[in-house]
Amino acid sequence: MGALSGYKIIELSGIGPGPLCGMLLSDLGAEVIRIDRSHTTMPQSDPKFDITGRNKKSICLNLKDKDSKDIFFKLIKDADALIEGFRPGVTEKLGIGPDDCLNVNPKLVYGRITGWGQDGPLSQSAGHDINYIALAGALFSIGQKDTKPSIPINLIGDYAGGTMFLAFGVCAALLSVSKTGKGQVVDAAMIDGVSSLLTILYSLSQSGIWNVDKKGTNIFDGGSPFYQVYETKDNKYISVGSLEPQFYQLLMDKLNLGEDFKNQMDISKWPELINKLENLFKSKTQNEWNDLLENTDVCYAPVLSINEAREHPHMKARNNFISIDDVVQPMPAPRFSKTNSESPKKAPKLGENNEEILLQLGYTDEDIKSFKERKIIQ
């Protein structure tokens, strides 16, 4: 039994951050019912590859159809939360917006995830992760000195600033319902989440410790020699994060570094020291550096691909991955001492649970037959 067992979440089918949020909630034991479109021209891959769809149930509905909408509101009536990722105003136009749903179920938590937020001058504009982190100030801070900003994969905006804040907001709102009996809307905007993630930079920059105008010159943005990525002899990479003085001293000891490395915080020497360490780390292979520095307090790790990461002994020791129908995927996180979830189950086919869900809602076999004949469900 997971920590969220007993909660029912309705997920309006989408892509990216919303489905990952649904996966996280279902991983922790919530019953997540995904409402898929009843008719789609998009080619459908094997659902086993839809990792974010794991543990969920699927019902196909055309939410522009009255009968489908009646089914939808029956689902909403005893649901705890709904999550959706449409552009602001879309669900209102469909007649399934927050007011419509809260009228049916006043305790419902209505979770909404967008890039720009539900209001503001850009709220109706299209965008992607790169745009949201650009406007929020994160993209400007990523990359080497005197180069254009480096494009990270879409973890920062979509998933850290989006998915995680939606999941956090939904869970917080569910706790509020348990105390107040009243549902509410959660507006999870990626620009808001990313701005929150940047709190440390606001602190450091305003205290004079961080130069926000010059990326790649600061203590942990690639400007320092002791918080850096280095290439190895075999054209692989390693990471060093010896921030604290005691860890930096250990790094010096392990690498037999000379007096020119003694003053860790002499910023004027950082470029020169980075150059020296670049040459040093190219003298051995990644595995040779692993043998010397891994399992020490240097704060070291090899830079691995996702395929390499799952084979690392530490990952294996913690059973971080599971294979479902030969598809390798991460295990649920975080871990709980008393309410760990069951092993994940592969994603359903579109509409796989139509009949099961309809019967649970009180519809009869005759009703379901009629729905099929009228193509309300497939």
Q: Are 367 and 75 in contact (CB under 8 A)?
A: no
Q: In the predicted model, is pLDDT for residue 166 greater than 80?
A: yes
Q: What is the pLDDT of residue 377?
A: 82
Confidence of residue 331 (pLDDT cuts 50, 70, 90): very high
Residue 256, token pair as written in the block: 């037999």
- Tell me the pLDDT tens digit for each residue of 333-344: 999 999 988 889
- What is the distance, to the nearest Å, from the Cα of residue 330 to the centroid of all Cα atoms in its chain? 13
Task: List the end-to-end C-alpha distance of the chain, in Å, as a whole number.
Answer: 32
Q: In the predicted model, is pLDDT for residue 361 greater than 70?
A: yes
Mean pLDDT to the nearest integer, 259-276: 96
Find the catalytic residue in 65, 67, 100, 128.
Answer: 128
**All structural domains of the chain:** 8-197+322-373 (3.40.50.10540), 227-317 (3.30.1540.10)
AA letter at 292 = L
Q: What is the pLDDT of residue 374?
A: 86
What is the pTM assigned to this prediction? 0.95
- Tell me the pLDDT tens digit for each residue of 20-49: 999 999 999 999 999 998 755 555 678 999
Q: What is the pLDDT of residue 43?
A: 55
Q: What is the pLDDT of residue 19?
A: 97
Find the catalytic residue in 27, 50, 158, 192.
Answer: 158
Residue 199, token pair as written in the block: 């709190």
Q: How crowded is the C-beta side of 133, counted as CA atoms within 13 Å? A: 24
Reply yes or no on whether 213 is catalytic: no
Average pLDDT taken over every residue of the chain: 95
Q: What is the pLDDT of residue 1?
A: 84
Q: What is the pLDDT of residue 340?
A: 87
Mean pLDDT to the nearest integer, 126-130: 97
Reply yes or no on whether 158 is catalytic: yes
Q: In the predicted model, is pLDDT for residue 5 greater than 60?
A: yes
Confidence of residue 10 (pLDDT cuts 50, 70, 90): very high
Query: What residues contact 303, with CB distance under 8 A and at least 6 apart?
Result: 229, 236, 237, 238, 239
Q: Could you count the other beta carbons within 10 Å of the beta carbon of residue 134?
A: 18
Q: What is the pLDDT of residue 84?
A: 98
Q: What is the pLDDT of residue 192?
A: 98
Percent of the chain surpassing pLDDT 70: 98
Q: What is the pLDDT of residue 375?
A: 83
Beta bridge partners of 189: 114
Query: What residues contact 77, with CB distance under 8 A and at least 6 apart?
Result: 104, 105
Q: In the predicted model, is pLDDT for residue 352 greater than 90?
A: yes
